[in-house]
Homo-oligomer: A and B are copies of this chain.
């Protein structure tokens, strides 16, 4: 299958490119290095600087014999986006090409505007590109569990049947997000759903929880093939941040009461989930929504696990409490369904002590790169 990965330089984009080529797919990657530029502008570069995409493609080709076609440019620009669609003729498109950080979107007005424009215009160009140049192609969109927020009822997989005043209807599950970034993902879903109904697009929306880890089957221990790894408050996800904090001897930054519960998954499971979605496409005119995570943890629970495993490894891990910079429920009901991907064949990796120890060891190799001033940056929601 010819698969175009938008945002192919990203934390998930590059590992996906290696994974899919290793499984025999033909892959093109598209990126404009936006995430690298924003990390530099905000002085929160990643734990190590990975080679550029052309260089990564060469390294991966030397190691695996698999080619990855590279397109560098800005997908908000139709001139570029249309050329990529025309040249590559994808059977499927994986759309990761978004500004992906909630705190970045809350940093200041310009960051909010960039997030809104980038995320919606890329999604629109993906829709128009598929419609015009690859009408049969399957769009796999990375959504987020954050679209649902933390409602007081069970979270279904995208859809809900509502009974109201004696009548029934089926609707997109009502969504209410906790950041501007997450709100742009709700808008993406609205946009895709409209064109699915109107033009008969074929779309999978993967509502993903926070991802942890760095090493995949394809990267192995070769750190030149690792994805970039943010550990700062702006672009880092919580468990990745905690691991770096543990290695640096910085008290783990639990926001508020720490009862915030989310569904997490190993980066290797993201690879599986995306491939399962690709290889089992929905029918034409269907918006299939799958909740993509493996296990629920509260922030407190994650901090305790990192502390316990870290201490066993000789780190002296402390847990700190930080005033919550976000507007979110710190204790809440949370019961999301996640059957769809298991039914497609997902074989989950769980967050065991061994997995945590392994990740802490890999992070430890880059210990000398950690800069403490990046850990907390004082981004506030209000």
Contacts and interface: CB of A to CB of B under 8 A. Distances in A.
A177 to B, nearest CB: 7
Contacts of A52: none
B113 A124 contact: yes
Nearest to A129: B109
Interface string A126-163: 00100010000000000000000001111000001011
Contact of A174 (B132, B171, B191): B171
A350 interface: no
A366 interface: no
Interface in A179-219: 179-180, 183, 186-187, 190-191, 193-194, 197-199
Given A109-B78, A116-B121, A164 B154 contact: yes
Interface string A163-178: 1110111011111110
B180 A194 contact: yes
A58 to B, nearest CB: 35
Nearest to A191: B183
Contacts of A78: 109, 113
Given A116-B121, A193-B176, A171 B187 contact: no
Contact of A194 (B151, B183, B194): B183
Contacts of A333: 167
A60 to B, nearest CB: 35
Contacts of A190: 175, 183, 186-187, 190
Contact of A160 (B154, B162, B175): B162
A112 interface: yes
Of the candidates A154, A164, A183, A327, the one having the most CB atoms from chain B within 10 angstroms of its own CB is A164
Given A109-B128, A151-B169, A174-B174, A198 B121 contact: no
A172 B183 contact: no
Given A112-B128, A153-B168, A198-B382, A162 B187 contact: no
A327 B162 contact: no
Given A117-B121, A120-B116, A121-B113, A153 B164 contact: yes
A48 interface: no
Given A116-B120, A194-B183, A176 B167 contact: no
A85 interface: no
Contacts of A121: 113, 116-117
A255 interface: no
8 contacts: A78-B109, A116-B124, A120-B187, A152-B169, A154-B165, A160-B164, A197-B327, A198-B327
Given A116-B191, A120-B120, A151-B171, 8 more contacts: A112-B128, A120-B187, A160-B162, A162-B162, A162-B174, A180-B194, A183-B194, A187-B191
User: Nearest 7 A-B pairs (CB), nearest first?
Assistant: A171-B174, A152-B169, A153-B164, A187-B187, A153-B167, A153-B169, A183-B194
Interface of A: 78, 109, 112-113, 116-117, 120-121, 124, 128, 132, 151-154, 160, 162-165, 167-169, 171-177, 179-180, 183, 186-187, 190-191, 193-194, 197-199, 327, 333, 381-382
